[in-house]
Every structure is written in structure tokens, then in C-alpha cells.
Amino acid sequence: MNKSLGAFYSGEYRNLLNECGYTEEQINSRLEQAWITLFGGNGEEQIYWESGTDEGYMLDTGNLDVRTEGMSYGMMMAVQMNKKDVFDRLWKWSNTHMRLHDGENAGYFAWSCQPDGSKGSDGPAPDGEEFFAMALFFASHRWGDAAEPFNYSEQAQQLLSICIHKGEDRFGHPMWNPENKLIKFIPNCEYSDPSYHLPHFYELFALWGDPVDQSFWQEAAAASRAYLRLACHPDTGLAPEYAHYDGTPNNDKGYGHFYSDSYRVAANIGLDFEWFHVDEWQVEEANRIQAFFADKDPADYRRYRISGEPFEEKSLHPVGLIATNAMASLAGNGPHARATVEQFWNTPLRTGSRRYYDNCLYLFSLLALSGNYRIWLPLAK
């Protein structure tokens, strides 16, 4: 693998939409319109609302709550789109209402709150914390740090330290298993969610987190890439929602199949390959999952066993699946890579009560496929 081809080393980001024949004007217009629609539209596709004078939140429209997943996603979208006001509103809401101050989860964020700010949980979901940290680092590098809570880089470093050192000198449980360096589904369990694995983030955490944790994050990046090889089926490319540390599906609670969480694996693999270009397996994996869906109608997407057998249950988020499969084309080079991107381009944002998750994945894919999901390096001093 030629690492120099990765955007981290080259500073160059592929614009797959342009490679597929769409003009820069068309692409920029689509991206700007998607932002306007989701963050200030008429409510049909909208997922962001302002609160008070200086806060805002992302609403899970299917469950009518506010989740760390969505809040951290919104922050990442905002920093990529250079929307500092929205970023700061989301971070202020998160830090004010979601931060946990007592008990074994002190320092983490409640994974679910009500739109009025009341907590719906006293526990976290680690995908929120890792996206919070990465978005905060990017904000620091793009805009510079300010007074607390907008001392972005310090906030990110403190959060990551809590995530991996809880249980050593603090009451509670770490979000990463300290022995195998794999992220957990929740801190007080010992299994994982393949879609939580973001080795491209961990590479950067090694550079910008606490220097004493550099080797941990380097090992975590390697461990996550190896884990995904185990969790993704060798023929279909499908990953389960929950998996044991050996990569086998964890179906104890019915989440051992390819369903909503699993969709993000393809997107994460595509972005890791775009940024760091270190794992040839990611090319094969992208090709496999795109081949699996090539002959399937989105109206008939299902829950699947990772070996490919469908259940009767339909997909809750077909637009999200279209988006993540397209994002896999950042790694894929197979016969379906272009068609998968074109299918995404021809798919509109989702309306209706289930739109939140789909439209988050849609905007991430639009950013990535247009070369606008970027690594923001520290400001020159």
C-alpha cells in the first residue's frame, strides 16, 4: 500500500462526484442546499433546531429525543462546512445538558436527552464521545480555541483521557478495552459495535491527544482495522450491529445481524482509506458490499444475516444505506463503484419521521464524495 496516496499525507481529496461527471457547480449547489434544508429548512427534511439564544440540537425525529450520536455528527458537519455558529450552539447544548457530573459515568455524556435538555439516560454511547473529540480537534484547528467551553482542543484531550483511563484512577469503566484496545458498545460491557470503529480518528488522536496516550491510539487504530476484517463477512462484506471481541456476531439481544448500525461500517472504511490508504483489504471489502447490494431494490432492503440471507423485516433507513454504500467507493474499485455513487446522487434527502439517521448519513456521504470531508490540521503558529 502506498500511504502517500492518503489525503493525510498528500493533502489531496478525491471528488468522486466530479469523477462521475457531475460539475463543480452542481456538486457545490447540492451540498449547500442539503445543508440549508437540514439545518434551516421547512421541517420536511430538517433535523436541526435552535434553542434559546446560543444553543441548538439535532433531533432524532423517529424517537423524538436528542442523542450524542446526532449532536456529535452535527458538530462534525458544521466544522466541515465552516459553520462556526452552528458548531458552537451544538457544543454548548451538549456540554450544558448532556455532560454527566456524578456516578461511574462522570465526564461522559448522556447518550439520550429530551429537547428541553432533561436527561433520558445516565449512561453514554461511545460513538458520540469519539465524534465529539474529533470534531473538537478540527474546530480548534480551523477556528482556534477560545474561552471555556470553546477551548476545543483542551476539551477534546480531556474527554479522550477520561475515555481510556476510567477505571485506573477514576470510578467507572473505560470506553476502550485496555488490553485489546477495542472500543466497547457501552463502557460497562465487554463486546463491541463494528460501526463504532474509526481507525482514521485514532490515527489523529495519537497526534493530538495527550502525548502519554500516543501508543494507545496507534495500537487502537491497528486493532480496529484488524477487528473489522474479522467482523465483516468474507463473501458478502456485511457486518453485524454487535459483535464479540473475536468478531463473531453477538446476537444475545437480537443485534447480531446486518441492520441500521451496520450501515456505517462501509462509510468508515471508505473514509479511512481516503485519509490514510494503509489497508488493501478495505478495497476488497468495499467491492464485496457493493456487489451484495447491486441487484437489490432499495424499496426491498431488509435486515440480513451477515451471510446474506434476508429477514422479512424491511430496512428502517434505506436512504442511509444507499449513502454509506456510496461512501465505500472511496475505497472500492470494483464494477459497482460508479453505479453506487450515481444511485446516491439520484436519491433525494428523506422526509418523514425516520429521516434523522438517513439524512445524517446522506450529508456525510455528500461531504466525503465531493472531497469535503477533510482532516483539519493545527493552525500555523
Residues with active-site annotation = 69, 261
Q: Give the DSSP H or E segment for 66.
A: strand 66-67
Give dist(CA 49, CA 59) in Å, integer.
Answer: 8
Task: Using alpha carbons, select from 195, 380, 167, 177 the residue that is nearest to residue 271.
Answer: 195
Instruction: Return the residue matching grid coordinates 476488497.
Output: 284
- Rounded to a whole number of angstroms, the distance between the first and last alpha carbons of the chain is 33
Cβ count near 312 (within 10 Å): 6
Give dist(CA 63, CA 330) in Å, integer.
Answer: 32
- Residue 154 burial by Cβ neighbours in a 10 Å radius (0-12, 13-18, 19+): middle
Q: Give the DSSP H or E segment for 112.
A: strand 112-113
Cβ atoms of residues 76 and 84 within 8 Å? no
State whether residue 339 is helix, strand or coil: helix
Give dist(CA 189, CA 207) in Å, integer.
Answer: 28
State whether residue 176 is helix, strand or coil: strand
Which contacts of 317-320 are long-range, i.e. CB under 8 A and separated by 24 or more positions?
317/260, 317/263, 317/354, 317/357, 317/358, 317/361, 318/358, 319/347, 319/349, 319/350, 319/358, 319/359, 319/361, 319/362, 320/260, 320/263, 320/357, 320/358, 320/360, 320/361, 320/362
Instruction: Return the residue matching grid coordinates 476545543.
Output: 152
- For the chain, the 3-state helix, strand and coil shares in percent, each to the nearest 5, are 50, 10, 40
Residues in a beta bridge with 60: 65
